[in-house]
Chains A and B, each alone.
Chain A
Amino acid sequence: MMASTEELPLLSHKVVCREDAAHVMSCFFSISSRHEEEEEEELSSASAPSSTNNYYDRRINMLKTGIMHVVCILLGYLLNTSYNPLYKAPSPYHYSSQYYSEQSSIKILGRPKTTEPSKESTSSSPSYHYTRVQTISFQIYTGGAPAFINSESSTSDKKKKKKVHQNPECKGRESNICLLFSQRSCYFQLHRVSFIFLSIHTSTLIWNVLG
């Protein structure tokens, strides 16, 4: 839990209080017991003739004791709430993966067999080895090969005609030639046709098989 300590001066005594709740409570009882001892001493001395000053000193000490009790209670409360900058809120990093794998409907998947997953991450602050990132993207066409490709005839310089040829990459693979249209696709057997005429008018696809 908390490791830091602080000293609380109390009358002539010094009581070391740790910050967690349990130790604050022990601090409280320690303070209380010490004051009870003082009060007993004072009471025993009170049996002797006492002066007015002693009476006021005893009242002041009792008042101080009461104040310190309140301070300790408040301190105990504050140290266990988010008001305390040293307070560590429950972090998802500290959840036990084993616990959630058994208790939660959210399953933990793909746990490696080669190493036992740690039940808690380290509480020390993470080290940041990398300060920058350099990304290198690999551009390569990974879609299907077009079954037909355009080519421009060079019969006339002024008027170039576009011709469509079967893509040699798809030759011999007619059985898996496919059509992509409007997020739909299909394939057909190319050897059944010689020519294909495809026209698209609005959202209607019309097939004309020639030859």
Chain B
Amino acid sequence: MYSGDTDEVQCYLGLHNATEDVMQRLSIMTDAVEKAYTLSNKDDSILKIFLAPEFYFRGINGAFEFTIDEEEMEMEDGRKCSSDMCQILSGLEQIVADVRFENWLFLFGTVIASEATSRHHQNHLHNKKHDVYVNFAPLYRGYNPKTSNGVGKSFIVPKRYVSTADFLTPLRDLTNRSIFELLDDANDQISDPKVVPNPFEKGAKTKYGYEKWIKYKDELTSYGYNMIEYGWIVLDNITFSVEICLDHLVHRALQTYLADVVTGSQTLIPSSANDTISWVGIPKQQAQISLVSSAGMDVIVGSLVLANGGYIFLQDGVEGNLPPSIQYGQDQCTPYEYEFFGGSQSVKRTSIISATDVTFEYEMNFNYIDYNLYDHQNYWKEKLRGVFSGTKYQPKLTVYAPVSITY
């Protein structure tokens, strides 16, 4: 007998063979992109944005691994991949290198990865130590590989802050009543050394392995990737802010903007257009479009960095099927603020300055249509089996009506 919220006890899902796991996730993502293309407006003056939720690429152990001594595997493009992450990125690159997606921007959720460094130990089960964690979003501009050199099309958006919900934390023993006890990863009672410990619980680390993550930058940039370190990017003269879940809650893009202002507007962000990339200042008018990939997050009014008439789009991976809703003044702590809810959220912010008042107005965008990703009943459970749970809701695409960009 068991009572309580069944969601409180969870397990990671994934295939034991990491390569097969990656391929299955890529296959589902490809299905979603293909369906999105079918449902999209084909007008070339409309930039299409494909937005997936956080944790899409996570794996059976809570994180895909970086390993140096892994056998190299030759990908279709000839690149030899020596890590799960390389296979993921290579697969996504193949999706976007398509003439059909020249007017597309893709935010493919996030990749959770951990570098497993060798550790000498008598117990061979504990020969790996996970001390570098990264959670990042691969972001791409689609392009025609026959006419474009592909420069300025691939980006990495690292998540800065670790959320308590990012990882599940192993407990030593069920009989231990102190479920809040922090994990000591040197403890031999941990049954499965492959399951990554929760970095948040390891000494209350609240930021991802930023310093070591920077070292991976060179490898990624050698493949043509550009880092979006501050959550800001300009694409074809459209200013974007891009945040991952908790980064949105802690105002990462807004803090960057404000810090940039008070330090003399010296921060430079990538700007991509016409197969070139340059580095520019953060535009004063803020972002015309904001994107958030999340798992358990809503649009936060206090975190918005929208230009006048700009839109924010958020896709959640936990309560992704909840219909969008808005309420005002219901929270006693924020009696004069709007709150937004739902799996797919889109909000427009307009600023109003009168002789006596300065306000922002918020308008939730309900102009959308949901489509099932897989038309055949219950086929989706077969497709997702092993890598995503079939107990929640079937995958869908929320197709918004085009909105104007305010320049």
Interface residues of A, Cβ cutoff 8 Å to B: 91-93, 95, 97, 100, 104, 106, 108-115, 117-118, 121, 126-150, 164, 167, 169-170, 173-181, 183-189, 192-193, 195-200, 205, 207, 209-210
Write out the residue numbers on chain A whose beta carbons fall within 8 Å of the beta carbon of B103: 130
CB distance from A183 to the nearest CB of B (A): 4
**Does A92 contact B266, Cβ atoms closer than 8 Å?**
yes
**Does A176 contact B346, Cβ atoms closer than 8 Å?**
no
**Does B174 contact A192, Cβ atoms closer than 8 Å?**
yes
Given A130-B45, A195-B1; A139-B11 close (CB under 8 Å):
no
**Does A138 contact B46, Cβ atoms closer than 8 Å?**
no
Given A109-B227, A169-B389; A145-B13 close (CB under 8 Å):
yes
Known: A133-B47, A141-B321. 10 other contacts (CB 8 A): A118-B276, A133-B402, A133-B405, A134-B41, A137-B397, A139-B53, A144-B389, A150-B6, A180-B7, A181-B8
CA distance A100 to B266 in the complex (A): 7
Interchain CB contact (< 8 A) of B51 among A92, A118, A138, A167: A138
Write out the residue numbers on chain B whose beta carbons fall within 8 Å of the beta carbon of A100: 266, 268
Name which residue of chain B comes closest to A193, CB basis.
Answer: B174
**Does A177 contact B11, Cβ atoms closer than 8 Å?**
yes
CA distance A140 to B403 in the complex (A): 24
* CB-contacts of B317-368 with A (<8 A): 317-318, 320-321, 343-344, 346
Name which residue of chain B comes closest to A147, CB basis.
Answer: B9
Name which residue of chain B comes closest to A107, CB basis.
Answer: B229
Interchain CB contact (< 8 A) of A114 among B40, B47, B151, B346: B151
**Does A176 contact B169, Cβ atoms closer than 8 Å?**
no
Q: Is B85 an interface position by the 8 A CB rule?
A: no
Q: Is B147 an interface position by the 8 A CB rule?
A: no
**Does A199 contact B52, Cβ atoms closer than 8 Å?**
no
Write out the residue numbers on chain A whose beta carbons fall within 8 Å of the beta carbon of B320: 139-142
CA distance A142 to B51 in the complex (A): 14
* CB-contacts of B187-224 with A (<8 A): 191-192, 195, 198, 214, 217, 220-222, 224
CA distance A133 to B229 in the complex (A): 24
**Does B227 contact A141, Cβ atoms closer than 8 Å?**
no
Write out the residue numbers on chain A whose beta carbons fall within 8 Å of the beta carbon of B195: 175-176, 187
Write out the residue numbers on chain A whose beta carbons fall within 8 Å of the beta carbon of B3: 164, 197-199
Name which residue of chain A comes closest to B259, CB basis.
Answer: A106
Interchain CB contact (< 8 A) of B13 among A97, A111, A144: A144
Q: Is B4 an interface position by the 8 A CB rule?
A: yes
Write out the residue numbers on chain A whose beta carbons fall within 8 Å of the beta carbon of B373: 138, 140
What does the 1/0 interface line of B129-169 toward A look like (CB < 8 Å)?
00000000000000000000001100010000000110111
CB distance from A108 to the nearest CB of B (A): 5
Write out the residue numbers on chain B whose beta carbons fall within 8 Å of the beta carbon of A144: 10-13, 168, 389
Segment of B55-63, B66-74, B90-98, B116-124 engaged in the interface with chain A: B55-63
Interchain CB contact (< 8 A) of A210 among B1, B36, B346: B1
CA distance A178 to B58 in the complex (A): 15
**Does A106 contact B267, Cβ atoms closer than 8 Å?**
yes
Q: Is B64 an interface position by the 8 A CB rule?
A: no
**Does B395 contact A138, Cβ atoms closer than 8 Å?**
yes
Interchain CB contact (< 8 A) of B236 among A93, A117, A130: A130
Write out the residue numbers on chain B whose beta carbons fall within 8 Å of the beta carbon of A187: 11, 168-171, 195
**Does A145 contact B10, Cβ atoms closer than 8 Å?**
yes
**Does B388 contact A134, Cβ atoms closer than 8 Å?**
no
**Does A134 contact B281, Cβ atoms closer than 8 Å?**
no
Write out the residue numbers on chain B whose beta carbons fall within 8 Å of the beta carbon of A195: 1-2
CA distance A150 to B373 in the complex (A): 25
**Does A135 contact B9, Cβ atoms closer than 8 Å?**
no
Name which residue of chain B comes closest to A134, CB basis.
Answer: B402
Write out the residue numbers on chain B whose beta carbons fall within 8 Å of the beta carbon of A118: 276, 278-279
Q: Is B399 an interface position by the 8 A CB rule?
A: yes
Write out the residue numbers on chain A whose beta carbons fall within 8 Å of the beta carbon of B267: 92, 106
Q: Is B20 an interface position by the 8 A CB rule?
A: no
CA distance A3 to B214 in the complex (A): 44
| Most chain A beta-carbon contacts within 10 A, residue among B170, B217, B227 | B170
Name which residue of chain B comes closest to A92, CB basis.
Answer: B281
Given A169-B13, A187-B170; A110-B318 close (CB under 8 Å):
no
Name which residue of chain B comes closest to A182, CB basis.
Answer: B180
Write out the residue numbers on chain B whose beta carbons fall within 8 Å of the beta carbon of A117: 277-279
Write out the residue numbers on chain A whose beta carbons fall within 8 Å of the beta carbon of B282: 92
**Does B236 contact A129, Cβ atoms closer than 8 Å?**
yes
